[in-house]
Structures are given as C-alpha cells and as structure tokens.
Structure 1
Amino acid sequence: MSDLLKHFRTKQQAVGSEKVYHTQCPYCSMQCKMELIEQRVVERKRFKVVPKNNPTSEGRLCIKGMNAHQHAVNKERITQPLMKKNGEFVPVSWEDALQFIKERFTAIQHEDGLNALSVYGGGSLTNEEAYLLGKFARVGLKTKYIDYNGRFCMSAAATAANQAFGMDRGLTNKLSEIPYSKCIILAGTNIAECQPTIMPYFQKAKENGAYIIAIDPRETATTKMADLHLKVRPGMDASLINGMLKTVVEEGYVDQAFIETRTNGFDELKTHLEAIDLKEIEALTGVSLTLIQKAAQEYGKAGSGMIFTARGVEQQTDGYMTVRNLLNMLLVTGKIGKIGSGYGAITGQGNGQGGREHGQKADQLPGYRSIENIEHRHYIADIWGIPESELPRKGVSAYEMMEKIHEGEITAMLVLGSNPVVSNPNALFVEEAMKKLKCLVVVDLFLSETGKYADLILPTSSYLENTGTMTNLEGRVTLREAAKPRSNEVKHDWEILCEIARVLGKEKYFSYESSEEIFNELRLASRGGIADYYGITYEKLRNNGVYWPCPSVEEEGKGRIFEESFAHKDGKGVIIPVENYVPKEHANEEYPLNLTTGRVMSHYLTGVQTRRSPTLEARNIEAFVEIHPNTAKKFKVKDKALVKVESIRGSIVVRSKFTESIREDTVFVPFHWGDNQCVNRLTSEELDPTCKMPGFKVCAVTISPLVDLTLN
C-alpha cells in the first residue's frame, strides 16, 4: 500500500468518528426536538444540529436551539465543587463540599430556626427536579421558604386562569388549532423573537383569513405581522381591555347563551362597564378610541377567536387583573372550549409550566395542590411518609424572600437553576441581600452574577447529560433523555439534593437511583390533583409526549380542555369587573420616561447560558436602550452612544439605539445582562397584590449622555 493511500485511510478513519445525541432545546417553552451530531476531525470536535420532527414545533429550530450545545461544551463550565476561601474560589472534593453544607446548615438552623434556611429554584428544571426541590425544602430542610424564578414568568397568568377557569394549563387548545382561529389577540407577547418556532401557526392563520390584533408599546417583529397594532402606554393594558369590553357588550357581540349556561358574574361586569367612559380610556391608554372600537368589533364578530398573553401584560403590578380582563373577553364572547377558540399563556422558560405544578412555588404542593388545604396536606404527607403536622405552611414569593433576608429571618439560601441577582427587580437590594447571608450555596453550570456571592458552588449537568421530563407551553409533557456522558465530578441536580439530604440524615426520604424513579413518585403525588400526571409514564412519553391531565395509564390526555365545563365545582367560568388601574410609579418631572423591559432573540433569561455561546453572544454582545429619535433629541442623546439610564433605585450604562418603533414617552432595555448593564437595578420592587408578580414592565426613568470624567 502506498504512503499516500495509508495517509488517506488514516485521515478517513479520524474524520469518520461520529456520535449522535437525541435531545431537545433547553430554552423556551416550545421544547423543540433535535439531533446533535458530534464529529471528531483529527483532534478537534465539531457539531452539527439537525431539527427533529415533533407535534409542537413540527421540526423547526430557532437560532438559540441551533446553538444551544455551545454552552454545554464551553470550557468555562464548572466541573468540580468550588469553595470560597480568603475571597477566592478554590476546588474542593464533594466530600468536603457536603461536609461544609452539613455543618453550616445545621448550625444556622440551630441558631436561627428551621425557616432560616431557604431554597430558590428555577423554571428550567425538569419536572422531577422541581418536584424533588419542593420535597427537599419541606422534608429535608423543614423550611417554609421556597419559591422560584417562575414567579417572575407565569404567576399572573397562572393565578388568573386558576381563578377564572379553575385550572391553569398554559394553553387551553393544541397549537395546531391556531390556524383555525378567525381573530387572534396577542397581548404583550413578542413571539417572533421569544418563541420563533411558533410563528408558522400564526402565519397559517393569516393565510386562512385570521385578523390579528397586537397589544404592545413597541413595534416588534410580531406586531408587524398584525392587522392592527394597539400601541398602548405601558401599564395601561387593563384599561384598554375595559374599553374593548364596553364596545363588545354595548354593540351586542356577547354570546348570551354561553354566558347564561357556563359563566358567573356577567351582570356585575355589565354594571361596571356602564360606568366606563371611553374618552377616559383613550386618555389613559394613549390609544385612539377608533382603534379600540375597531379591535373590539373584529374580535366580537369573529366566529372563533384566541387570546395569547405573555410578560408584556403579565409583568405588571396589576398583571393578574389584566389577564382576568382578557379572560373576561373570552368568556363573554363564548370563545373557549372549541376548535380555534381559547386562551394561551405563552410560557417563557423551558419548564415554566411544569415547574409550578409540582411544588416549587411557596403555596403549592405537587399536582397543583394547595399547601394550605388540609386534605391536600394529608395526601402529600402520606406520600412522603411524614406526619401532616411536620409539613411547613406556605412561605413567601421570590422577591419577598429577599426582604426576609434583609429582615434577618432568612440567613442561608440554596439557589438551584436561577440567577436572582439579575432576574429580581430592585437588583441592588438583592445584591445586598446575598452579601448578608451567613451561607449561600449555588448550583450552576457557570459562575453567574449570583454565584460570585456564594460560599460554595456545586457543578451540575447540562441539558445534554440529564434525563427528565418537561411540560411545554401547551401542557404536553415530553421526555428529554440523557444523551451525552457527563464528567466524573459533575452531578445532576436531583443527585445533589439527594446527597445533601443524606449528610443531613434524611437519606430514607431521598434514596432515588434514577430520574424515572422520582417521576413515578411524582405520578403518585399528583394523582387526583388538578395537574394529574398519574397516567403518564416514561414509556408513553417516548412517542410524542402526553397532555395533562392524564389520570389513568389508558388515557392519552386531551389537547383541548373546557369543551363542556370549567374546572370549578359548579363547572362555570368566573367573570369579574376590573378597575382602570394606574401604576403607582409612572413618568414624572424628575424621571419623565417610562421604562419597559423584554428579550432579544439570541439570548435567554439572564444570559448565563446564552452568553457562553459564541454564536449567540456575537449577535448581541451588550445591552442597549431603544429610544425614539425625538425623545433622544430632548435628552441630548446621540445614536449608538453610551448613556446613563437612571431610576430612583439605581442606574445602568448601556448603548443607545434609535428607533421610531417605540412610543416617545417610553424606552426599552433587554434584561439578559448583569452588573452595570442589569436593567433590574432600575425596576420597582412593588408587587402585584394577588400573585406577587413584580412590575418589570413599568418604571420611571431619566436618560442622559454618559459624561467622560477623564475629559476637562
């Protein structure tokens, strides 16, 4: 054999090394399926991503999904426990790390009480890990203080759906029904950038003649698709819907038969609307009366209709009531429980839906049970093998835990799957809270802004390495099986919880060998609850996923719910009057602009993962402030210049971005960056009184050119 042929054969063998990983995207709630192909070329690895057909995204992937693997193979990943010593992080063994936790947690609870320990979770954890985190807090630590970052994502919509319908499952219909809807309201959602793979459903609806109404203070890629854009003043969405409802009722677009047989509360709403002045609505919202009436008429006369909400209307201090008013619109027109008619809360996080169903939230137990309901408490206590009296009562919301730290009631925290220093409102207050803790343990892939304040960081597995179930935005439970081997020193989140429980003497409650074993306990714990997963098994999920509720193994779950009745005991939906609401904090003489926040397509949440993806990072390397050119002129701000944005709570430095697509009284900053680009250093700590959602979408700010102090 010639030397040239030998060289060719050797090179061919090297290039031929290939591994295929079947997985799904870790980012948004679409949970798109994919294959990741790892190819070894000589000494280098390269990756190819192939979309995989599935019922939700139909084989589509967005830019984030195509590059999700980049953070999982990033060399900055934490691969062994890190303990802070003399202000620096140094590697330690798992044995030493666990011994540290045992000593510190035990001492703190002895000194400060059981509730001095707290747990802060995340909406990207698998169902198994979300379930186990709730059990760990209440059984392993015996603390009432547990909440999660989903409080900032879905709490307004979830609470509204539970109160109006008796059940919250994200979407009341299959995504595949969207093309059959004749009128669609997109309220505070920029799906074109946040969930791009959902867009073809709406494009098909348009092709079928659907009329699309978008409600947003900004023009976005989503509003460009709409037939009508209501450019509402930030924080005035509930008032806008009151104007639409008044038009619907007065012009006779109500479904009287549906109202009489399937709802309660319409008479009270009608009386409330009679007192509404449409001219006042026009003044409050900044939207012309003509456009408000046009939107109401188009939705009212349509034979079918759907309403979708997201953070734009939900992240308000009246977010719960705003969503309730939109649900009023569905109920009075009878547009729910039918093909092409229903409600959808566009979940932000990958498992934002499942994450709140099984016990991460302060007031909830698995199966969407209430921690204050005595029957629910007894049922879960029996599953967990503890007396009901030992099960803690409800704690407080995520941001309120930060207040408890400042008050000295919480003195230690375990953070798993979240970055509260960046994601919470009034972020400087949260930074100070982290500094006050006697002990902070963070479980993460990377050193996050929160991790910098930790006493101990524990390395966790990535989405490629960790088996578990996720529940997507339409209530479909999917199985993501481990594809890629993990390094020896990295553990799964559920393993870490079990290890901590072991050293704390609670091993008998946490002796699991696999995620499937945890899921089977979750099935029992959810049985008979609103979110009933009992009939779902890993084997069934290996096909195309299963909708909940699924109370028996023989069932497959229903994609469309509320066809004949709602989940309240009397089977009826609940309509309530919603007052016109003006946020306590709004533009004033000192801070004359309204700030609103949101996402960009290439990043996810606080950017801990996407900012470790070279491809995604290159698309948006820094934060920015969108500002109308006319507004910029008043504040002497130039385009693409560094500027200071300031509220009563703090300031940030970002680059200006001129656009005529935003209201002149409003500026916009994305929330994916930390430190001096962290927009939540500006946002208000005021919370929705019902669901405890912070008002991220409205705060008063001023803007000014950044002065270079080095110049004379």
Structure 2
Amino acid sequence: MQTSATPTHCPYCALQCGMNLTPAPGGGAEVSERADFPVNRGALCGKGRTAPALLAPGVRLTSPLVRRAGVLEPAGWDEALDRIAEGLSQARAGYGPDACGVFGGGGLTNEKAYALGKFARVVLGTSQIDYNGRFCMSSAAAGGIRAFGLDRGLPFPLADIPRTGCVILVGSNLAETMPPALRYLTELKENGGTLIVIDPRRTRTAEQADLHLAPRPGTDLALALGLLHLVVAEGRTDDAFIDARTSGWEEARAAAMAHWPEYVERITGVPVPLLREAVRLFCAPPNAMVLTARGPEQQAKGTDTVSAWINLCLATGRAGRPLSGYGCLTGQGNGQGGREHGQKADQLPGYRKLTDPAARRHVAEVWGVDPDTLPGPGRSAYELLDALGTDIRALLLMGSNPVVSAPRAAHVEERLRALDFLAVADVVLSETAGLADVVLPVTQWAEETGTTTNLEGRVLLRRRALTPPPGVRSDLEVLHGLADRLGAESGSAKGFPTDPEEVFEELRRASAGGPADYSGITYGRLARGEGVFWPCPTTGAADTRAEPAEPTGSATPTGSPATPHPGTPRLFLDRFATEDGRARFVAVSHRAVAEEPDAEYPVLLTTGRVVAQYQSGAQTRRVAELNAAAPGPFVEMHPRLAERLGAADGDTVAVVSRRGRVVAPARVTSTIRPDTVFMPFHWPGEGRANTLTNPALDPTSRMPEFKACAVRLETVGEAPATR
C-alpha cells in the first residue's frame, strides 16, 4: 500500500484547492496542507478537510444495483451493464436515437465529460445531452461570449484580485461558498482597495464590504443599468478605451440612460445616495473588477444582467487591461471544463459550436466518423428533464442529483419516474439514484487520475492516491463497457479507452484550434503542480488574444513541441476574441422577474448555499461533522415579516409557491430584506427548496430562474426533529 502523500485537489468547488492525501492505516485517507498550490495556499474549508469521509465503504456504493420486482438489489457488473445496454437499445429501436437522453455533471473530470459527450453523439447518436452545469454559470458564459467572443470564468488569476483598486461582488457569498477565496478580498482591503457587495442578504461576505447594496431579488439588471447611467451622467466614461477597443456603445448608452437613479431606486430598493457612492468607489482607482456569481446569473434574464455588468466595465475601461475586468465565479468543481468538452447540448470539444460545419469536420475526424452522422443541438438541461417519459424514454445519468437540484423539483422527480428506463452512475445512492433501474458504483476523486479546470481556466491534474474498493469501476470503464455492448469500436484511439491519459491525448487533438485549446497541455506538464491556463495551443507563439504566462519549468514536457506554449493566465490584453478584436457592448433594459409577488403570493423567495453543505448535498449530507454544522433546511426571514406571520425563531413554517409546498424551521434575522425569504437548497423531502423554484428560462442561456419566485408563508407549529 502506498504510504507517501499524494498531491491532488479537493473534489468540491471550482477553486479546486490543492491538498495532500495520505492513505490511513485503517483505510481511507488523511488530508494535509499543500501550501505550494497558489490558489488556496494550504487553506481548506470544512468540506475539503472532511472529504475522505466519503471514501468509507459504509458510506459509498460498492456494488452495482439492479431493480428486481421493484427493489434495488446487488448485482454483478455484467448483468448491470447488459441491462443498461438493453434499456438504451430498446428506446432507440422503438422511438429513434433522440429517445435516449444523457445527463452529466459539473464534477466529472475533463476526460469523463469528453467521453460522455462522445458516447452520446457517436454511440447513441442522440442530440439529447446536457449537464447540471447549465444551472451554474451558463448566463455568464453566454454574456461573456457575446461581449468578448470567449467565455472563461475568470480571464485573470485570482492572485490579481488583491492588486486591483475596487471589486464589485454581485450575488456571491464567498465566505460560505468558497471560504479559502475570501482571503483575496481580505488582502484587497489590506492593500487599500475597496469592496462593494451586492446581495439581498447581509451575508458573512457582505459584512466584509466597504459598501453593501441590498437590492430586491431579480433586480440586479436594473441596478447595473442605474450605475452605468450615473457613470455617463457624471462624466466618468473612458472615451479613449471605448473608441479604440469596443463597438455598440451608443445603443448601450441610450438603453442605460433610460434607467435614471430614482427609477432604479424604486425598482431595486437601493437608495440613490448608495448608488452614487458605489459609482464613486468603483471609478476612483485606476483599476477595478466586477465579479458575478449565481445571484445575478440564475435568473430568466441572467444573460442580459451579465451584459449590463460587462457594459459597466467596458464603459469605464475596466476590461482588457491588467488588474481590471469582468469575471464569473464558477461554482462546480469542473463546471468550466465540463462544458468546454462536450457535455453541453450545443457544444463539441474545445468549446466548438455544434452548428459550425468546420467544427463538426474537425471533431468527426478525431472520432473517426462522418460529420454528417453527428446530431445537432439538443435540449437544455431543464428542457431535457421536462421531456423525460415523453420524447425521451431512457436516460443515462452520471454525477448529478436533479431530484434535489433541479427547479420545480417535484415535477422533475415525476418525469424521472415516468421513464421506461433510468441508469445512474454515482459514488453514493443519491435521491435520483434511488429511482433508477440500474445504479453503478463509480470511483471517486481520490481513486482515479484525471484533469479538471478551475474557475481561473487553470487546467489541473488530480492524482490517484488510493486503490478503489472491489466492485467499483471508473466512469471511463462504464462507457467502455457500454460502447462495447452497443456495437461501437472500443479500446482504440478512436474508441472509448479506460486510461484517462489516453482519453486526454484524444481530447487534446479534438480541442486543437478551438476557443478552449488544450492541445499544448500534457499530463507531464500538469504533473509540475500549478496547472496550465488555457488557451494553450501546441505552437510556441503567444496567443494574440492574451498575455502569455511564464513557463512553469525549463524541461520540455513529453509530447510537447520544443518551445511549448506557456499557457494564458490573462486574456484580452491586446485584443478581444471577436472577429474584429473589439469588445461588444450589448444594449439591454430592465424587465421584471418572471413571477412577481401578488396578493396570493406576496413574498419573494431566493435560494442559495450554506458553508457546511454542497450543491444537492448527496455527498456532504453523509459526513457527520458537516451535518452537525448544518443539519437541515430553514427559512430565513426578517423580524418584521416574522411578526406579520406570527412566527418566532425556530417555529415550523410552510413556504408555498405555485409549484408546491415545503416546511422548515424559521430563522429570524435582520440580515435579510423584509420582503424576501431565503432557503438553502441542499436537502430533499419536505424541506426541498427546489420544490418551489420557477423553471422560467433565460432565452439565451436557458438558465432557470432559481433566484426569485413568488411565495406565501404559513405557520405550521413546532419545529420538526432533525433527521
């Protein structure tokens, strides 16, 4: 047994914090600090420190399960894979290729995401593939592409944040969602910079701010437009930058000028003096940044909201320059890489568009298929889930738990139950896996090697530190076995190999020349420890869209050219990734949330996370230490709202929307707006927040409106016992 420490990365959020793993004498592993990794510099949150708890045999799946007479029972791998192949084949034979759906996860490695997308399009021939990352940063991606021509969560390293002059943080509670990243904001203030936090709640992150703006949920677009109006009215635009490096300013300016301060105050609830102070703080230093997260993005107008914040950066010259820019704080561990390489309904590897004939030819050549056989774009994530049991009859799902995480979750659960066949590959028996006909136990982060791409666009190597228990296989082995049973060539360079490095070598070729070019990255280079920023082509020439990084070492990596491209930590410093090199302003205007409060549903619900749990909670809810810190759901409300309801702190209350009813204890606090309630979304059952949320979709990104829906509150009685 290996006894030395293995340097690797946390399995949770998009920071992908570095850590060391050492096998424990009694099984499992111990986590220790890895101070040399630049993102977290040794710091870990409670989730990272306790991650090995999920490796215990009593917690995770160790045998395939097959449903017999309505009950999931242990089975052998051949039986389980045969059943899945049969279920998919029957759906395809009876209803056509698009009757087979594939739903992936933002926690899958790049290799697994790539292989899953290839499997869907080559083996099943289906267009019906998407992933839960659609619920993460798709609005920011769409906004970034139409403004800059390229989407990467952060176009600069996290290390640049403390060196800028001002940060506007919109809809992010870093102190709870990415605790090790809070140090960058602390260092920003220590260096004399200012922090503006925009959130309807006075969160732990907002407590650190020099200025906290608390808009009504769903009004971030109006707020950004109001700030841009003031920038213009006060003569704070950077006209030289606008003239030299942008297009579309006049239309965007005219749209912003229709959002005067008093009008914006009426919409958002943010007083005009605070709007003016935000503009003063943002424009005072020579450099500044805007960082958005799920708050403004998880809206039915999320793409336009992102565009409004980008417009503010462009108008003030805060983009395409050192220590300035717009960035998105990606949430899931590999949310960035997961969409870059083929899980998203409209994309091929390398962030290529599925509708682009040249992109289809390139990827088809790598895959050894006729480009005309590749299906076109399919449904987005919620639309795919909504079609289950009707147009889509069989579903293969990997690494996601939509029974808890999808909007209108009770309806999604009904659609999953309506399927002819459901197969789930996961590390635990999630609420979604519990509905499946076949469940496959797959390896975890510590038991497999593979790459992820963090929120900076830094491609990283997770290393295998432990041997998986008997009965567990990797997702790559699952796809290999299914491809073999379904008649595809397997085990060759154009098939479905099980070695992750072999898959990555194919991914490199498939991504070459695309927007997310990984072709110059190898496992050998990544083994040096700090990662490589994409784009990183195979040539030695610097990318004209960006500033190259310094090489991470002097040795030439195996498989690299004599002068390897150093990677690209900072984008857009010379030109943007548009055809003419200019960033594009996009004219946008405020519009109301999809579901405004009314007499029947007079309060707005917004949702989010708590520090001790992660996403649907499928993994963190199995860790005793984390459950002790966050044992169950709650409804956060202002004292004035609680008084009107007649509820005290700890009383059980019901929250009712047009989609369902949930109950949870009240948490009464003055840190939230009186017209708003907040619920975390990590739990299933009667406290499942996503029973309530609205699946109204952004017309561009197809992002559901998780962050604002109309509800009413009812008193119930005493708080239920924690389960």
TM class by smaller structure: over 0.9
Deviation at 1:49, TM superposition (A): 3.1
Aligned residue for 1:169, secondary structure, equals coil
Match of 1:415 among 397, 400, 410: 397
Q: Distance in 1 between matches of 2:195 and 2:30?
A: 39
Provide the residue aligned with 1:648 in structure 2: 658
Match of 1:72 among 44, 55, 59: 55
Partner of residue 519 from structure 1, selected from 504, 524, 533: 504
TM-score with structure 2 setting the length: 0.94
**Match for residue 455 of structure 2 among 473, 483, 487:** 473
Query: Per-residue displacement from partner, 1:371-419 (whole Å, max 9, x unpaired)?
Result: 011111111111111111100000010100122225x110110010100
Q: Give the C-alpha shift of residue 339 in structure 1.
A: 2.5
Q: CA deviation at 1:20?
A: 3.2
- Aligned AA for 1:372? T
- Give me the whole-angstrom Cα distance separating, in 2, the residues matched to 1:37 and 1:122: 27
Pick which of 529-538 and 677-686 moved more: 677-686
AA partner of residue 535 (structure 2): P
The yes-or-no answer on 1:283 pairing with 2:266 is yes
Question: What is the DSSP-based 3-state SS (H/G/I as helix, E as strand, rest coil) of the residue aligned with 1:507?
Answer: coil
Aligned counterparts of 2:69 and 2:35: Cα–Cα separation in 1? 49
Please report how far the alpha carbon of residue 226 of structure 1 lies from its aligned counterpart in structure 2 after TM superposition.
0.7
Displacement of 1:625: 0.8
Equivalent residue for 1:614, pick from 624, 637, 648: 624
Answer yes or no: is 1:110 the counterpart of 2:96: no
TM-superposed deviation, 1:171: 0.7
C-alpha contact 1:253 1:301 (8 A) present in aligned 2: no
Confirm whether residue 634 of structure 1 aligns to residue 644 of structure 2.
yes
Match of 1:10 in 2: none
The answer on whether the counterparts of 1:169 and 1:474 sit within 8 Å (CA) in structure 2 is yes
For the Cα contact (< 8 Å) 2:521–2:536, is it kept in 1? yes
Query: Which of 247, 264, 278 is residue 295 of structure 1 equivalent to?
Result: 278
What is the one-letter code of the residue matched to 2:526? Answer: L
Q: Is the 8 A contact 1:159 1:691 kept in 2?
A: yes
CA distance in 1, matches of 2:327, 2:310: 10
Report the CA distance between 1:639 and its aligned residue.
0.7
* Alignment root-mean-square deviation, CA: 1.6
SS in 2 for 1:343: strand
Per the alignment, do residues 283 and 332 of structure 1 end up closer, same or farther by CA in structure 2, a change over 3 Å counting? Answer: same
2:407, 2:693 within 8 Å by CA — same for their partners in 1? Answer: yes
Measured in 1, the distance between the counterparts of 2:29 and 2:198 equals 43
1:405-554 equivalences in 2 (<5 Å) = 405=388, 408-508=390-490, 509-543=494-528, 544-552=530-538, 553=560, 554=564
How many angstroms does 1:581 deviate by?
1.3
| Aligned residue among 559, 567, 573 for 1:557 | 567
Name the CA distance, whole Å, in 1 between partners of 2:695 and 2:190: 43
1:214 Cα deviation from its structure 2 partner: 0.7
Q: In structure 2, what residue type is equivalent to 1:326?
A: W
Kindly indicate whether the alpha-carbon contact (under 8 Å) linking 1:308 and 1:343 is maintained by their aligned counterparts in 2: yes
Measure how far apart 1:489 and its partner are. 1.2
CA distance in 2, matches of 1:432, 1:513: 34
The alignment status of 1:179 with 2:162, answered yes or no, reads yes
For each residue in 1:263-291, what CA deviation from the matched residue of structure 2 results, as whole angstroms up to 9, or x when unmatched?
00111122223333321111000100111
- Which of 186, 211, 221 matches 1:203? 186
Q: Matches of residues 131-530 of structure 1 in structure 2 within 5 Å? A: 131-405=114-388, 408-508=390-490, 509-530=494-515
1:395 partner amino acid: G
2:85 match: secondary structure: helix
Q: CA deviation at 1:707?
A: 4.7
- Contact conserved, 2:652 with 2:718, CA < 8 A, in 1? no
Residue number among 25, 42, 50 corresponding to 2:10 in the alignment: 25
State how far apart, in whole Å, the 1-side matches of 2:257 and 2:10 are. Answer: 48
Equivalents in 1 of 2:622, 2:289: separation in Å? 37
- CA drift of 1:71 comes to 1.2
Amino acid at match of 1:601: V
Give the Cα separation in 2 of the matches to 1:619 and 1:709. 17
Q: Which runs of 5+ in 2 are unaligned?
A: 539-559
* Distance across 1 between alignment mates of 2:21 and 2:688: 33
Does the Cα contact within 8 Å between 2:613 and 2:626 map onto a contact in 1? yes
Deviation string 1:82-141 (CA, Å, 9 cap, x unpaired) is: 011112111111111111122221111111111100000000000000111100000011
Give the secondary-structure state (helix, strand or coil) at the position aligned to 2:705. coil
Post-superposition offset of 1:17: 10
Amino acid at match of 1:538: Y
For residues 330-378 of structure 1, give each alpha carbon's deviation from its aligned partner in whole angstroms, at most 9, with x where no partner exists: 1111112322211221010000111110010000000000001111111
Contact 2:140/2:303 (<8 A) preserved: yes
Match of 1:128 among 101, 106, 111: 111
Deviation at 1:612, TM superposition (A): 1.2
The answer as to 2:592 corresponding to 1:582 is yes
The letter for the 2-side match of 1:170 is: G
- Aligned counterpart, 2:544: none
Whether the aligned pair in 2 keeps the contact of 1:422 and 1:680 (CA below 8 Å) is: yes
Asked if the contact 1:247–1:297 (Cα under 8 Å) also holds between the matched residues in 2, the reply is no
Structure 1 CA distance for aligned equivalents of residues 150 and 205 of structure 2: 28
Partners of 2:29 and 2:423 lie apart in 1 by 34
Task: Tell me if structure 2 keeps the 8 A contact 1:337–1:563.
Answer: yes
How far off is 1:60 after superposition? 1.4
- Structure 1 residue 44, shift from structure 2 partner: 7.8
Q: Which SS does the other structure have where 1:556 is aligned?
A: coil
Give the residue type in structure 2 aligned to 1:292. Answer: L
CA distance in 1, matches of 2:79, 2:383: 32
Letter of the 1:536 partner, please give it: I
Taking the aligned partners of 1:267 and 1:532, their CA distance within structure 2 comes to 34
How much does 1:18 deviate?
A: 5.2
Distance in 2 (CA, whole Å) between partners of 1:175 and 1:520 is 28
Tell me, what secondary structure is at the counterpart of 1:356? helix
Whether contact under 8 Å (1:180, 1:339) holds in the other structure is: no
Q: CA deviation at 1:36?
A: 2.5
Residue identity opposite 1:540 in structure 2? R
d(CA) in 2 for partners of 1:94, 1:227: 57
Q: Measured at CA, do residues 548 and 18 of structure 1 come closer, stay the same or move farther in structure 2, by a change above 3 Å?
A: closer
Aligned partners of 1:147 and 1:360 also within 8 Å: yes
In structure 1, the residue matched to 2:545 is none
- Assess if the C-alpha contact under 8 Å between 1:35 and 1:52 holds in 2: no
Shift of 1:680: 0.4
For residues 709 and 156 of structure 1, the distance between their equivalents in structure 2, rounded to whole angstroms, comes to: 37
Question: Which string of whole-angstrom CA distances, capped at 9 and with x for unpartnered residues, describes residues 598-648 of structure 1?
Answer: 010111110011111111111111011111111011011121122111111
Alignment partner of 1:95 out of 63, 78, 82: 78
Deviation at 1:708? 7.7
Which residue number corresponds to residue 6 of structure 1? Answer: none
Judging changes above 3 Å, is the alpha-carbon distance between structure 1 residues 270 and 343 closer, same or farther for their aligned structure 2 residues? closer
Name which of structure 1's ranges 168-177 and 656-665 shifts more when overlaid on structure 2.
Answer: 168-177
The 1-side partners of 2:9 and 2:585 are apart by 39
Q: Percent identity?
A: 45
Return the alpha-carbon distance in structure 1 between the equivalents of residues 275 and 181 of structure 2: 27
Change (3 A) 1:38 1:383: closer
Contact 2:651 2:718 in 1 (8 A): no
Separation (CA, whole Å) in 2 of partners of 1:99 and 1:194? 40
